[in-house]
Structure formats: structure tokens, C-alpha cells
Amino acid sequence: MRANDAHAPQWKRLYEAAIFELDPAKSIRRIAEARSAVLDRIEEGFSKTSEGETFALGNALHMLSALRHIAEREIGEQKRTGT
């Protein structure tokens, strides 16, 4: 299933939007939205998720954390250099 598919879970659509955002300032917001959606899905209970989705949710949280650190570093660099 592709995340852009209308039937894809909301967390997955938001996750992909965060991954593909190029503007670091906008990326921070998208990452927060995606992280919240992933955590909401986790709170719904793993009994409602497949093993594959459980694995994907964990990977998504890890990737979103890494992306947040990258975006924060880029924002800091832009402030230092004025670009």
C-alpha cells in the first residue's frame, strides 16, 4: 500500500509529508504532527495493529526523531550564517 493512497492510515500520510518536506522550519511542524499521529496509533493498542504495522510505527518514530535533529541543526546553521 502506498501512503499517498486515500486508504493509507493518517499517521503514514503525515509521516511521508514530514519526510518529503524540504523547508527545515516547516519540517519541524510536520514532524511534530506525524509523531503525534504515530503515538495516537500506538495508544489505540497494538492488539489492533498487525506485526508489520507495529514494526513500521517503531521505525517511523525513530526516523522522525532523526529528522527532527537534522532540521534543528539546519535551522541553527541558517541562523548562524544568515541564509
Where does the pLDDT of residue 1 fall: very low under 50, low under 70, confident under 90, or very high at 90 and above?
Answer: very low
CA 41 to CA 48: how far, in whole Å? 9
Give me the pLDDT at residue 46, please: 61
Give me the pLDDT at residue 5, please: 67
**Locus of grid cell 519526510:** 19
pTM score, whole prediction: 0.84
**What's the whole-number mean pLDDT along residues 56-82?**
95
Specify whether the CB–CB gap between 41 and 57 falls below 8 A.
Answer: yes
Query: Is residue 8 predicted with pLDDT exceeding 90?
Result: no
Please write the tens of the pLDDT for every residue from 17-43.
999 999 999 999 999 999 999 999 998
What are the C-alpha distances in Å from 61 to residues 10, 20, 46? Answer: 14, 16, 15
